[in-house]
A = this chain, B = another copy of it.
C-alpha cells in the first residue's frame, strides 16, 4: 500500500470509531462522508463550529486556558446564565468559532480543487499548510466572536444585553455552519456521482 493509502486507512478507521462512539457532531457528518468517499481525500480532524466558554486572562492562550463549557449548537441564555453562576473563575471569554477541517489530499491538483470549492463556500481563510506524501489543507472561515463575559471578577453583561448577545452569537454560529452545506454542494460538483473529475 502506498503511504497515502496507508494514512487514509488509518484516518478512516479512527473516524469510524469516533462516529460509532457518538464523538462526531451530526452537523458535519454529511461533509465528512462526502470527502472521505473520494480516494483523493481523507479528513484528519474537524469541528463543525462551536460556542465555547473559557477561563483565561486573554483569549488565544491555548495551553493555559480552562474550557468551562462548549456547545456545538445555538445556546439558550438560561444555559449560559447557569454556567456563569456556577463558575468562580475571575476571567471568562466566550468564543464563537466557525468550522475548521484538516484534509489530506493525494495531489496538488486535488488540493487546489478543494480550495476552490472552499472559497466559493465562503471559507476564505483556507489554504495548503504543507506538502509531502500528502498535501494538507486547512479549511477555515473568518466567522468569529471572542468576547469577555467576566473581567477581573466583574460580570460584563447582564439582563437584556446578555440575551441580545446570545442571540447574535447564535446567528454567527448558524451563518458559519451554513458554509458546511455550501461546501458539500460545491464538492458534489467535483467529487459527486462516483466519477472523479480531478
Contact = CB atoms under 8 A, between A and B. Distances in A.
Contacts of A3: none
Contacts of A26: none
A42 to B, nearest CB: 18
Q: Give how many copies assemble into the complex.
A: 2
Interface string A50-80: 0000000111100000000000000000000
Main secondary structure of the interface of A (DSSP, over half): mixed
B172 A152 contact: no
Given A146-B147, A148-B165, A164-B152, A172 B59 contact: yes
Contacts of A152: 160, 164
Contacts of A164: 151-152, 154
A102 to B, nearest CB: 11
A146 B146 contact: yes
Nearest to A128: B128
Interface of A: 57-60, 108, 112, 115, 125-131, 137-138, 140, 142-148, 151-152, 154, 156-157, 160-161, 164-165, 168, 171-172, 175
